A = this chain, B = another copy of it.
Amino acid sequence: MSKSYHVAILGATGAVGTELLELLENRDFPLADLKLLASARSSGKTIKFKGENIPIESVSDHSFDKIDIVLASAGGGISKTWAGVAIEKDAVVIDNSSAFRMNQEVPLVVPEVNPQNAASHRGIIANPNCTTILMTLAVWPLHKVKPVKRIVAATYQSASGAGAKAMEEVKTQTSAILQGHPAVAEVLPYPLAFNLFPHNSPMTDLGYCEEELKMVNETRKIFGSQEIRITATCVRVPVLRAHSEAINLEFETPFSPHEAREILSQAPGIRFVEDWQTNHFPMPIEASGRDEVLVGRIRQDISHPCCLELWLCGDQIRKGAALNAVQIAELLIEKNWLSH
A148-199 contacts to B, CB under 8 A, are 150-152, 154, 156, 171, 174-175, 178, 189-191, 194-198
- Choose one: B206, B239, B244, B304; the contact of A238 (CB below 8 Å): B239
- Choose one: B150, B156, B198, B298; the contact of A196 (CB below 8 Å): B156
Q: Mark A272-314, 1 if CB is under 8 A from B, else 0.
A: 0000111111011100000000000111111110010101000
> How far, in whole Å, are A175 and B303 apart by their CA atoms in the complex?
41
- Choose one: B152, B237, B302; the contact of A206 (CB below 8 Å): B302
> Nearest chain-B residue to A154 (Cβ)?
B154
CB of A290 to closest CB in B, whole Å: 14
Q: Is the CB of A189 within 8 A of B279?
A: yes
Q: Is the CB of A304 within 8 A of B207?
A: no
> How far, in whole Å, are A237 and B237 apart by their CA atoms in the complex?
8
CB of A315 to closest CB in B, whole Å: 13
Q: Is the CB of B151 within 8 A of A281?
A: no
Q: Is the CB of A178 within 8 A of B174?
A: yes
Q: Mark A2-32, 1 if CB is under 8 A from B, else 0.
A: 0000000000000000000000000000000
- A197-B283, A198-B297, A303-B151 in contact; A231/B248 too (CB < 8 A)? yes
- A174-B178, A198-B281, A238-B239 in contact; A233/B311 too (CB < 8 A)? yes
> How far, in whole Å, are A216 and B309 apart by their CA atoms in the complex?
15
Q: Is the CB of B303 within 8 A of A238?
A: no
Query: Is residue A99 contacting chain B, with contact meaning CB distance below 8 A?
Result: no
Q: Is the CB of A285 within 8 A of B206?
A: no
A130 — which chain B residues lie within 8 A by C-beta? none
> Interface size for chain A: under 10, 10 to 19, 20 to 34, or 35 or more residues?
35 or more
Copies of this chain, tallied across the complex: 2
A174 — which chain B residues lie within 8 A by C-beta? 174, 178
- A206-B299, A238-B237, A303-B152 in contact; A278/B189 too (CB < 8 A)? yes
Query: Is residue A317 contacting chain B, with contact meaning CB distance below 8 A?
Result: no
Q: Is the CB of B171 within 8 A of A299?
A: no
Query: Is residue A37 contacting chain B, with contact meaning CB distance below 8 A?
Result: no
CB of A195 to closest CB in B, whole Å: 5
Residues of chain A at the chain B interface (Cβ within 8 Å): 150-152, 154, 156, 171, 174-175, 178, 189-191, 194-198, 200, 203, 206-209, 216, 229-231, 233, 235, 237-240, 244, 246, 248, 257, 276-281, 283-285, 297-304, 307, 309, 311
The 9 tightest CB contacts between A and B, nearest first, are A154-B154, A229-B303, A207-B299, A231-B303, A233-B246, A154-B246, A195-B285, A231-B301, A194-B240
A-B contact pairs, 24 of them (CB 8 A): A150-B304, A151-B303, A152-B303, A154-B246, A156-B196, A171-B178, A190-B285, A194-B239, A194-B284, A195-B285, A198-B279, A198-B281, A198-B297, A200-B279, A203-B277, A206-B299, A206-B302, A207-B276, A229-B302, A229-B303, A231-B302, A231-B309, A233-B311, A235-B244
With A196-B239, A216-B302 known, 8 other A-B pairs at CB within 8 A are A152-B303, A156-B156, A194-B238, A194-B240, A195-B239, A203-B276, A207-B298, A231-B301
